[in-house]
A and B are shown apart, each in its own frame.
Chain A
């Protein structure tokens, strides 16, 4: 692994250079294991390796891809339109974090899309058939498939490019289409297929069975008891609860997600929420989103099914980025209508969540912001005084939902020290962590660090300017990837969830004097 000072040496944004050797170690993701391809019933299951010459594609792979393309073009206006109307103005070019971190021109959204646009022209337009290369059309060959695999698994589906494009061309949408096509010939990565298959079988990406989940919950409750002296409950699979709570499963297994998990449990206890967790719908995130709309729907179906089985009134969702893209923009369409649920109303404040009246699922930051606004929580900001906090908008909650103020409102109410990163790196312009859309694997670490560079760079700026030492975020993948990313580029900055900060500040009835924060560290230095 190169050092942070060196890794950017050959990056020159002013004279983009194409990557010469595509499958260099550290830049690409491993293929999906056979076992999981089979479990999900994916096409062309086999053992294979992207670094090999022979990808063991089916004999008629070309036909499959072209037929697949025709079908997607028919099904998605976005796909055809975006391929048709790009004027190559280049406004999106340097907006992608992968281009900014690698200087590879194929990582400019416009050229990423051009990788398939050229094929579209050749096989689906008159001008391309007639004039070929002159109008930018090219033949579909195995090398094109390899290039697709390389570059479309170098897009985190963050949608930043779409903000800047004068036609709203969303290269994320193109990436989703190409990944669907690659699936048709059995080319997908481990870090997408394995979690998806786990989720399909056990209910969550990590593949944790219900009994193990119960044990971790007990463990968390013990920790809360140590911290606060209170016996908190965490109802699981409880029928007749008012609310079903669904969080990304990393929250109850990974660090630093764990402290956000404690935060949820403490908050729900304190307000006496009538709710339940589920072991069947134990995953909010959805790796199907990074695979195909069909797999997305298959995984997402569990949430409504479980809400129905348990007889809850509405659903509350935890902190997660891509999870919320699915819930906000796809769930109701795919698995709705949720007519067996009621329009969400906060049992504590009586607020009706109009914005979720059809999907019937509310984001935890909407819920908590409403609690705080209505003075239902007693908070002691000083308990977070150890931290100088900044907030990283997850691309999906920002650009697919417009959830910008709620988390900021909460943070300002529970922390004394809060500073924003530069304006062009937050809110709708936020930079991705570089590891979303299934790219958070270990083997492609170099690429992830490059992709995350613009985000880290903005953190570095506020660290130097304001002494920021904590990045708050609301995305499970961010919580997993940012610590490593910041260690590499910035150092001395930690990562937390918004509800970890809430858990710290929350004054709970009957709690003992708190000496430690949720991480078990002294409250102040």
Chain B
């Protein structure tokens, strides 16, 4: 059912520009208005979410420690998984964000006959995640080619690297294939791994399908129904210098590609995809394990009702004196 909803939604999203452009040639709407709108939603949405997180306090120091803490001088500290300095935290966060370190720990529990519980190292999720996210990242970087003039050399470099296997002209880009592989793995994992299937809802399938459709349309306009890259670049540069002109391109698939990207951008801030910004705020990962070394302040701390020593002694004084325990007051 969730898959059905997600696919219907994706199809619907493809149809909108398909009809809009194919039948009504609404270039101004799909080429300009929708894109500006999407960017506005994306930027303000992300800022809004980040501000809300940033504004809510972290009252307690709650890192999840995954290694030996700083202790006696002769005990070797795990400076990355139990950092007590900001530098350590930075290293920990970088490893987490760039290499999904926590997923490297993943293992699957299996209950065998005779009540034996065994664990198997499972790096597939890590691998699928890395494949998907890194490809996506590289694809975004090399799209800068279409926005910037002159093209920065690192973008050219990445683009060149990506097209190393010159199978076609223009060369088939490796990351396009890798990201498809990643998406397909993540998708089928959701569908066929019983545990993951159980927890998945339509909003888990939808982004995968959406990005899948974006990649496919992208491939189509690059290799099959080729578009005029120079024309598109001129159009995009115009768009980003707030001097938009109607795109000359008449290829419907190109508009579908654009529209899906716009959808992704405006969907992102309001969905789980916001994890891309949220991960930096995670207090179990970005705090130092130094809570006995430096006092952590709770901004909303308030006085509470306590049972004071005096009240306490009042209740027990007589009995305490009987057994010879020292007291503050004699009665």
Contacts and interface: CB of A to CB of B under 8 A. Distances in A.
Nearest to A309: B309
Contacts of B304: 294, 297-298, 301
Given A210-B320, A355-B70, A399 B58 contact: no
Contacts of B316: 202, 209-211, 279
Interface in A386-413: 398-406, 409
B7 interface: no
A162 B66 CA distance: 10
Interface residues of B, number: 96
B301 to A, nearest CB: 7
Interface in B284-331: 284-285, 289, 291-298, 300-301, 304-309, 312-313, 315-316, 319-320, 322-326, 328
A94 B195 CA distance: 8
B67 A428 contact: yes
A373 interface: yes
Nearest to B294: A358
A420 B5 CA distance: 49
Interface of A: 4-5, 8, 11-16, 41, 73-78, 80-81, 84-91, 93-95, 100, 105, 108, 110-111, 114, 125-127, 134-136, 159, 162-170, 173, 200-203, 209-211, 214-215, 236-239, 279-280, 293-294, 297-298, 301-302, 305-306, 309, 327-330, 332-334, 336-337, 351, 354-359, 361, 366, 369-370, 373, 398-406, 409, 422, 424-425, 427-429, 453-454, 457
6 contacts: A76-B57, A135-B201, A166-B100, A173-B284, A214-B324, A329-B62
A24 to B, nearest CB: 21
Interface of B: 5, 49, 52-53, 56-62, 64-72, 74-76, 78, 81-82, 84, 96, 100, 102-103, 105-111, 115-117, 119, 125, 129, 193-196, 198-204, 270-272, 274-275, 278-279, 281-285, 289, 291-298, 300-301, 304-309, 312-313, 315-316, 319-320, 322-326, 328
Question: SS class of chain A's interface: helix, strand, loop or mixed?
Answer: helix
Contacts of B117: 100, 453-454, 457
A459 to B, nearest CB: 12
B291 A359 contact: yes
A366 B301 contact: no
Given A80-B52, A88-B204, A332-B291, A93 B62 contact: no
A404 B66 CA distance: 10
B292 A355 contact: yes
Given A13-B109, A41-B305, A170-B64, A77 B281 contact: yes
Contact of A84 (B49, B58, B96): B49
B306 A214 contact: no
Nearest to A236: B325
B292 A400 contact: no
Contacts of B323: 210-211, 214-215
